[in-house]
Amino acid sequence: MYAVFGWIMFLCIASVLLFNLFYVYPLKWKDRKIILGVTSRKEFKEAGASEKIDEIVGRTHKQAVIITVICFAISLLLLLVRGMMMQMFFWMLFMFIAIFVDMVPYISGHSALMSLKKSLGIKGTDGVNLVDLKLSGKVHALKPISVIIPNLLGFVPVVMALLLDLKIIRLEDNRIAGSFITTIIIATFWSMGVLIGLFSIVMDNMKNEVISSDSDVNANYNRAKKKNAADLNVGFIWINVIYTVIMAGGFFFRYSELLMVGGLLVYMLLMFVDVFVFIHFSKKIEARYLKETEVVTDDDEYWIAGMFYYNPKDKRMNVDKRAGVGVTVNFAHPGGKIVGLIGIGGLLMALLSLVWIGLLQSTPISLRVEDSKVICHQLRDEYVIPFDDIASAEYGDDITSHTVIRVAGVGMDTLLKGNFSVDGTGGCTLFLNPQEKEFIKIITKSGKTYYIGGGSVSETFRAMGMIEHR
């Protein structure tokens, strides 16, 4: 299954790299409104400046090609890594590094272009806000119903899963009902659709861009852009709903991890297709209206490294992205600051979780019997079961023959630790290495169930002997 995960990650990273190469690092800069995060001005196309821009754009594109090829080679090597957790660890680490390194030529190219702009004496349109009076509040392309219907459909499996977990409805051979894992996963996917729906409404209400003194041109341009964004988001929501329904079917009738991951692969492929259709039409719209663009809004100095928008004078929270497509936030806006803090927090959490996964992976678990107590220990976790609390203890020879689903805790190839559902029984505490297979099942007098094992079979066997002779 980790191979499928590896391919999913490979596709993700390959798509991002290829997208950046052809969209963020274009060679034909003359038909772009923004070049490496800098507003294209008519002075750029004059002799002297044009050659210098050719050189900057060519150099950054070349650097991006080299980085893309190296990242592709590393990605292919990562496919050879064995084990789900090892794959996750290396792919996440690589993803952070690749995304950062891939933007280095952009930042350097942006800096070179800004210097050139300064040397040419080109100034921005600082503090000037253009608004087409006839367009205010009138240009929309999203029908709210197109967002509401799929999300309502997606809510049906969430309710079904909840009813199953609450055991209000029952299905034959469903061994995971009661663990709430189905409800959590399905509701998480469904909530993504809801979030995209809210985001699409925000995008549809974004300020209209003024490119011409003719209101009809402005209206058509903004309507085309909003329609393209609405199609992307509605497409996202439908793909999300379809996958939620398929996944729910799998959970309800036949749970298979391979089916889940395979489904996820198809889900991501469809998402990529949706994004590529959006990019294709974005480029088409920009090319179509390039000749009619007569008004230039140049707020380059508020774009840090051509990527992060910080403009205290601009009261808008959402603005069009410069590196890539879609929207970003104005980090000077209170809402933008919150989004920024969430982003930094998320990034730090992801990095810390990488360190934590590494520690969990490299620290062996231990199972010992001391002072008439069974003690399971790893890192900061310690489970202690006193002998006089043990109601029954039995030795199992293969944990992999049981249906084990994580509710809360660690679920790795070499470690199952925390709260799990085993064969449909929720609330079981696990502490074992599933690769060692053998385990001890302990039921306490208070009714708690433990599945525990040591770092090796002999450790588990020795502990069982001591429990039996308690």
Partner 1 sequence: MIIRIDELSDVPIYQQIRNQIVMGISSGELEAGEQLPTVRALAMEMGINTMTVSKAYQLLKTEGYIMTDRKNGARIRSEIEKQGRISPGNRSELKRIVSEARLSGVPKDELVKLVNEYYGG
CB 297 within 8 A of CB 124: no
Packing angle between helix 49-78 and helix 2-19, nearest 10 degrees? Answer: 180
User: By C-beta, is 125 or 361 nearer to partner 1?
Assistant: 125
Give phi and psi for 456, each to the nearest 5.
-145, 165
Task: Candidates 122-130, 343-351, 415-423, 458-466: pick the segment binding partner 1 (CB under 8 A).
Answer: 122-130
Residue (136 or 353) nearer to partner 1, CB = 136
Task: Closer to partner 1 by CB, 244 or 311: give it.
Answer: 311
Amino acid 440 reads I
Nearer to partner 1, 41 or 207 (CB): 207
- Phi then psi for residue 343, to 5 deg, are -60, -45
State the DSSP code for 364: P
Q: How far is the CB of 321 from partner 1 (least distance, A)?
A: 18
Q: Does 137 help bind partner 1 (rule: CB under 8 A)? A: yes
Residue with Cβ nearer partner 1 (316 or 321): 316
Q: Which residues in 315-334 contact partner 1 (CB under 8 A)? A: 315-316
Q: In this structure, are residues 64 and 121 in contact, taking their beta carbons and an 8 Å threshold? A: no
Residue 335 in contact with partner 1, rule: CB under 8 A:
no
Question: Count residues contacting partner 1 (CB under 8 A)?
Answer: 24
Q: Binding marks (x or -) toward partner 1, 344..373, rule CB under 8 A?
A: ------------------------------
CB closer to partner 1 out of 39 and 240 = 39
Contact by Cβ (8 Å): 139, 223: yes
Q: Nearest approach, Cβ of 334 to partner 1 (angstroms)? A: 13
In the range 190-249, which residues lie near partner 1 by CB under 8 A?
A: 205, 207-208, 210, 213, 215
- Tokens 């974004």 appear where? 206
Among 76, 131, 169, 202, which residue interacts with partner 1 (rule: CB under 8 A)?
131
Given a contact cutoff of 8 angstroms between Cβ atoms, the answer to whether 442 and 460 are in contact is: no
Nearest by Cα to 250 from 26, 42, 41, 405? 405
271-310: contacts with partner 1 (CB under 8 A): 295
Per-residue DSSP letters for 53-77? HHHHHHHHHHHHHHHHHHHHHHHHH
The verdict on 127 binding partner 1 (CB under 8 A) reads yes
Q: Which is nearer to partner 1, 213 or 372 (CB)?
A: 213
Nearest C-alpha neighbor of 402 from the set 447, 449, 338: 449
Q: Nearest to residue 430, comparing CAs of 445, 444, 447, 415? A: 415
Look-up of token digits 């699409």? 200
Cβ within 8 Å of residue 18, ≥6 positions away = 68
Using the minimum distance from each CB to partner 1, give the nearer residue, 201 or 375: 201
138 φ/ψ angles, rounded to the nearest 5 degrees: -110, -25
Whether 147 and 205 have beta carbons less than 8 Å apart is answered as no
Quick one: which H or E segment has residue 352?
A: helix 334-362
Considering only 54, 126, 423, 468, the residue that binds partner 1 (CB under 8 A) is 126
Q: Which is nearer to partner 1, 216 or 257 (CB)?
A: 216
Which member of 102, 132, 300, 436 binds partner 1 (CB under 8 A)? 132
**CB closer to partner 1, 130 vs 390:** 130
Q: Which of 231, 314, 436, 438 binds partner 1 (CB under 8 A)?
A: 314
From the list 62-70, 131-139, 152-160, 356-364, the region that binds partner 1 by CB under 8 A is: 131-139
The least distance separating partner 1 from the CB of residue 131, rounded to whole angstroms, comes to 5
Sheet harboring 404-411: ordered strands across?
Answer: 390-396, 439-444, 449-452, 425-432, 416-422, 404-411
- Footprint on this chain of partner 1 (rule: CB under 8 A): 126-138, 205, 207-208, 210, 213, 215, 295, 313-316
